[in-house]
Structure 1
Amino acid sequence: MSGHLIRGVMAYRSLLFVPGSRPDRFDKAAGAGADAVCIDLEDAVPPDGKDAARGAAITALDGRFGLRVNAVGTADSEGDLAALNGAKPVFVMIPKAASAADVNAVRAACDAPLWPIVESAEGLYAAWDIAAAPGVKGVLFGGADYAADLGCTMAWEPLFHARGVLTAACARAGVELLDVPHLDIADEADLIASTQRIKAMGFTGRACIHPSQIAPVHAVFTPTEAEIARARRVLDAFEAAGGGAALLDGKLIEKPLIRAAMRTLEHVGDA
């Protein structure tokens, strides 16, 4: 899979979901260009299709796919975790994560990197512990279910607090953070604008529900040549000043700007 480097490891700008009940779409999804592809056994699969979807998904785990299992504590989750014995998903997504104990329950069943999904008030309350739980590589904000839990809309303002808490929790834990997919596939302008907003907040990527969303999301999360050049100049000026305060283009360069420049270069493996 593609991706970019953060702290020396591959990070996901985009994650594309594909229904576990549609194995005919697995190969197409894998070739769509997303940094990660996740076969979904939860929301995208009707109750009477869980067993068949699970079997198709486990068979397809060939190093290209992650897997979203069903919520911990459900009968479907027990079947999913039992089926993971010996399987090799790239990662496992944990929906409805409400505590670090939910993460630990999945970790006991497999050793793949874990991606809990915070999508409730209870999950947000435990976000610091969830993000820092052993085995967690990143967190996905499940904004649609979160909004339903609170009885609010998915507009920017009602979800701003949750996004702020999650960016802080994931930054503290040193893990990635992906935002909820943009649900209006036809509105590319708003996809780009909202993705720019979440990037500015500290999100590292975004989930996608259609291949057409991947390129716009990548364009936002991939540093431009101008941003890369600026970051290099900032670090060069800082080094030339012996690690102290420096001036660049008449502006003072201090440690916060140094950290921002290093993050930019980490995205391209140049820091």
Structure 2
Amino acid sequence: MGPALLFAPADRPERFAKAAERSDAVIIDLEDAVAPAAKTAARENMIKSGLNPATTMVRINALETEDAALDLAAVDRSKYKTIMIAKASEVDIIASLTRYKVVVLCESAAGILAAPRLAKLPNVVGLMWGAEDLVASLGGTSSRFTSGARSGSYRAVATHARSQLLLAAAAAGKMAIDSIYADFADVDGLAEESEDAVASGFGAKACIHPSQVNVVRDAYRPSDAEVAAARELLAAAEEAGTGVFAFKGKMVDGPILLHAKKIMTRSAL
């Protein structure tokens, strides 16, 4: 899946098809986007949604809630096999959910600290982090600076959690998904954060509005110049036939070649 994942509230079934058309994968949301009184109907909407299971996942409520059991029962009545677990941290319980492919959404202190163990579970296919829930779990008020020169940028604890999750996912060979950008009117801020996600190694970024999808896609899609340079470098490496070689006045080794290969992979997105 990826690179642009789009949340679709399960109580708004009229949005499902449009979300699938406009994004690379849809996250049908049974959790925060759905009011408690609407959750029963939302589960039925999810079951009847008819989206492609290969590019659709269902976000369920936190496992310690009563809603989670009802969510899982509904998923079992659907054709979907991939779930996203909100506020994930319970390693043993998640390990037992072997009938699903699981994306763990680590959005608490416990979840971030459990990320390395969660990433190693065979049924876990990806990890995502959530900034606002994380800071709320710490007793804080905002994950981002709201004024001054650093306005809009993450606070240190959020940046640390983001890096922790990325490292945990990469160490286990699992996809890391970057958190949402809540201010969907701020296109420039989203573009900057998406470009950082790409450069840092996140495999995808979650979106909350269809207008964000192409911004994320553009960040993940390398330019023609980048593709041409990567192709030229890889051709030179094949011709050199050695581990380290000189190319245009610079030394090239394994990590540089890996960057070039990643660019070629992203060019196919």
User: What is the TM-score with the length of structure 1 in the denominator?
Assistant: 0.88
- TM-superposed deviation, 1:85: 2.1
Against the structure 1 CA distance between its residues 208 and 127, is the aligned structure 2 distance closer, same or farther, given a 3 Å change threshold? same
Output the CA distance in 2 between the equivalents of 1:136 and 1:233: 37
Q: Specify the alignment match of 1:261 in structure 2.
A: 260
* 2:125 paired residue number: 137
SS in 2 for 1:21: coil
Is 2:35 the partner of 1:41? no
RMSD: 1.8
- Residue 86 of structure 1 and its aligned partner are, at CA, apart by 4.6
2:142 matched residue in structure 1 = 153
Does structure 2 conserve the Cα–Cα contact (< 8 Å) formed by 1:237 and 1:247? no
CA distances 1:38-62 after superposition (whole Å, capped 9, x unpaired): 1100001111111111111112144
Question: Secondary structure at the residue paired with 1:92?
Answer: strand
User: Aligned pairs, how many?
Assistant: 256
Q: What does residue 226 of structure 1 align with?
A: 225
Q: Which consecutive unaligned segments of at least 5 residues does structure 2 have?
A: 145-153
1:62 and 1:88 in contact (8 A); partners too: no
- Give the stretch that moved more between structures: 148-157 or 39-48: 148-157
Moved over 6 A (4+): none
1:228, CA displacement in angstroms?
A: 1.6
Contact 2:20 2:51 in 1 (8 A): no
1:202 deviates by: 1.7
TM-score (norm 2): 0.89
Cα distance in structure 2, aligned partners of 1:125 and 1:223: 33
List per-residue Cα deviations over 1:5-30 (Å, max 9, x = no partner): xxxxxx41111111111112212222
1:12 is matched with which residue: 2, 11, 33? Answer: 2
CA distance in 2, matches of 1:56, 1:46: 14
What SS does the corresponding residue of 2:241 show, helix, strand or coil? Answer: coil
Question: Which aligned pairs between 1:53-132 and structure 2 lie closer than 5 A?
Answer: 53-63=42-52, 65-89=56-80, 91-105=82-96, 107-108=97-98, 110-111=99-100, 113-132=101-120
Report the CA distance between 1:117 and its aligned residue. Answer: 0.2
The aligned residue for residue 199 of structure 1 is 198
Distance of 1:148 and 1:97 partners within structure 2: 15
Alpha-carbon distance in 2 for matches of 1:269, 1:188: 24
Q: 2:237 aligned with 1:238, yes or no?
A: yes
Shift of the alpha carbon at 1:152? 5.4
Q: Distance in 1 between matches of 2:87 and 2:71?
A: 15
Q: Give the whole-Å Cα distance in 2 for the aligned partners of 1:62 and 1:192.
A: 28
